Chain A
Amino acid sequence: MSLTAEEAKLLKAISVPNSDAAKIVRNFDWIVVVVLLFAVTAAFHIHFMLTAGDWDFWVDWKDRMYWVTLTPMILVIIPAALSYPLMHKLGLPIAGTVCGLCLVIGEWVSRISGFHLWAYFPYSLVWPAIVLPGLMLMDLFYMLFRNVFLASVFGGGAVAMAFAPANWPILAPYHVPVVHIEQLVNVADVIGYSFTRTATPEYLRFIERGTLRTFGGESTLVSTFFSAFVCMILFYMWWRIGQFLSNLGTIPNQLKTFVGLEADKDEAK
C-alpha cells in the first residue's frame, strides 16, 4: 500500500521527537486505547454473558459437552470481527488478546462485586473460564500468516483447541468424585447443591449425553474438535462482518444547511 504525498509529509512530521505532531498523535493514541478498552469490555462481555454466561458463571455448569463446545464459538465472534479494523487496517494483531483481556477484567470485577459481595456466592463457585491462551494463539496465527483464510483455519481452530487444556488445571480438582447422600457426584456438584440458584433445577441441567462417550469415552476431545470446526467458519464469517461494518461509509445529512454548509446538489434541485 503506497502513501499519498500528504500522508508521507505527516509521517515525517510525527517522527520529529517532542514536536506538536508527535504530541497530537500520542494524545490520539492514548484516547483511542482507553475508548477501545471500555467499549470492548462492555460489548464483548454482554455478548458473552448472554450466550454462554451460565456455563461461565457456575463451576457445576462447566461440563464436558456444552461448555467446551459452546464457549469457544461464542469467544471467537467479536475478536474475529475486530481483527478486520485492527489487523487488516492498522496492522495490529491484537484483537483476540485485547478482547480476552477485557472480558477477563470485566468478568472478575462483576464476580467480585456482584456474585461474591452482593449475592454471597463463594469464588470457588463463580470463577470465570480461562480464555486468553486460545485468543492469543488466534492473534499469533493471524500475525504469522497475514491471510484471513489461514487465520480462520488455524487461528479460529486454536481458540477451541486451547480452551479445554487451558482450563483443565483449574477445573480438575472440582471433578474429583465424592459420595454425597449415597450418590456419586463430583466436588463441583456438591458446591452447586450448597448454593441453590434458579438456574440449576436438575431437570434443566444439561450435563452430558451418554452417547457422546461412545467415541473412546472422550467427550471433551470430541466436543473440542467439533467446536474448532465451527470456530474456523465463524472466524471467517465474522471477519467479513467486521469488514462490512468498518466500510459502511456515509449517508447524506439533511440538516447540514442549519450549520452553514451548502446543501447537496441533488437536494438543492
Chain B
Amino acid sequence: MSVVQNDVVKSEKIEPWKINFKPMILGLLAITAIMLTARWYQQWAAWDYGLDASDPLFDVYWMKVFWAQLIIEPILFFVFVGYLWLTRDTHLNQLSKREELNKMMFWISMLVVYAFSFYFAGSFYAEQDASWHQTVVRDTSFTPSHIFLFYMCMPVFIIIGFSLFFYAITRLPFFAEKISVPLLLVVCGPFMLLPTVGYNEWGHAFWLMEEYFTVPLHWGFVFFGWSIIALGGLLVQILGYMSSDLLPKVLNEKGELTS
C-alpha cells in the first residue's frame, strides 16, 4: 500500500486543545444524587422511625442503611484504588508532555468532585447534625444524622481522595517522582476525620455531653479540617510546575500546542 501525502500530513496533525469534562460532570451528578437522596430519606424516615434506637422500626429503617453502607463503601474503596494501582502506567518515564498535560488537567478537574464531596461532609451534613442533636437527644451513636454524616459522607470523600492520590502517583510524573506533602495533607487530613469519630462517640457516651456543639471534644474535627489549608500549597506546587516546566514544553510563543 502506498503512502500518500494526505496520510503523512494527517499523522503529524496536532490535536487541538480540548478538556474532557464528562467524568467531572458525571462525578458531580452522582454525588448530588447520593446526597439529595439521603437528605430526602432523612426527611421521610427520621421523625417517624429514627427517634428511639430500641424501637424495632429503627432497625428496619436506619440500621439496615448503616449496615449497607458498611458493606458497600469498603468494596468501592478497594475497587477504585485497586483498579488505579493495577492499571498503573509502568512506563511513566516515557510519557509525552502533551499526554501529561491532558492527564494533569483531568486530575485537577476531578479535584472538583473531591471538594464537592467534602462540602457535604464539612458543611451541609455537619451543621445539620447540630440541628438534629440539639432537638432530639441521642440514645445511640447511630442516629439518623450520624448514619449519613459519618458513615456515608466521610467514606465517600475518603474513597475519592485516595483514588485521586493513587491516580496522581501512578499516572502523573510530577507526583510520582516525589510525593507532594500538601497533597498528602489534603487527602490524609480529611481522612482523619473518620477515626476522630471514634473519640467523639466515646466522649459522648462517657461524659453524656450534649449541650454544646463547640465542646472541646469536637475540636479534633477542627484540627484535621485545617489540613485543607494545604490545598493552597498544592495549588502553588501545581502552578509552579505547570508554568516553569510543563506548559513551556508543549506551547510555542504564539500560544499553539507543539505536540
Contact = CB atoms under 8 A, between A and B. Distances in A.
Interface in B182-224: 182, 184-185, 210-214, 218-219, 221-222
Contact of A246 (B119, B170, B232, B252): B232
A22 B257 CA distance: 11
B235 A85 contact: yes
Contacts, number: 268
Contact of A42 (B115, B218, B253): B115
B108 A57 contact: no
A49 B178 CA distance: 36
Contact of A89 (B131, B210, B236): B236
A20 B225 contact: no
B214 A50 contact: yes
B25 to A, nearest CB: 12
Contact of A242 (B42, B225, B229): B229
Interface stretch (A109-117, A149-157, A166-174): A109-117
A201 B225 CA distance: 30
A16 interface: yes
A110 B124 contact: yes
B131 A248 contact: no
Interface centre among A36, A47, A81, A86 (most CB of B within 10 A): A47
B33 interface: no
Interface in A1-40: 4, 6-7, 9-10, 12-16, 19-24, 27-28, 31-32, 34-40
B231 A253 contact: no
B34 interface: no
Given A54-B213, A250-B180, A110 B255 contact: no
Closest 7 CB pairs of A and B: A19-B255, A42-B122, A85-B232, A114-B128, A38-B115, A250-B178, A21-B255
18 contacts: A7-B244, A15-B255, A28-B242, A36-B231, A43-B118, A45-B122, A46-B221, A50-B218, A55-B214, A85-B233, A85-B235, A119-B134, A246-B233, A247-B233, A248-B185, A248-B230, A258-B170, A259-B92
Interface of B: 16-17, 19, 39, 42-43, 46, 88-94, 101, 105, 108-109, 111-112, 114-116, 118-119, 121-124, 126-128, 130-135, 137, 169-170, 173, 176-182, 184-185, 210-214, 218-219, 221-222, 225-226, 228-233, 235-236, 239, 242-245, 247-248, 251-257
Interface of A: 4, 6-7, 9-10, 12-16, 19-24, 27-28, 31-32, 34-43, 45-47, 49-55, 57, 78, 81-82, 84-86, 89-90, 106-107, 109-111, 113-115, 117-119, 121, 126, 197-199, 201, 204, 241-242, 245-253, 255-256, 258-262
Given A19-B255, A245-B185, 17 more contacts: A13-B251, A13-B254, A28-B108, A34-B115, A35-B231, A49-B213, A50-B214, A81-B226, A85-B236, A110-B123, A119-B134, A198-B134, A246-B236, A249-B181, A250-B181, A251-B181, A260-B89
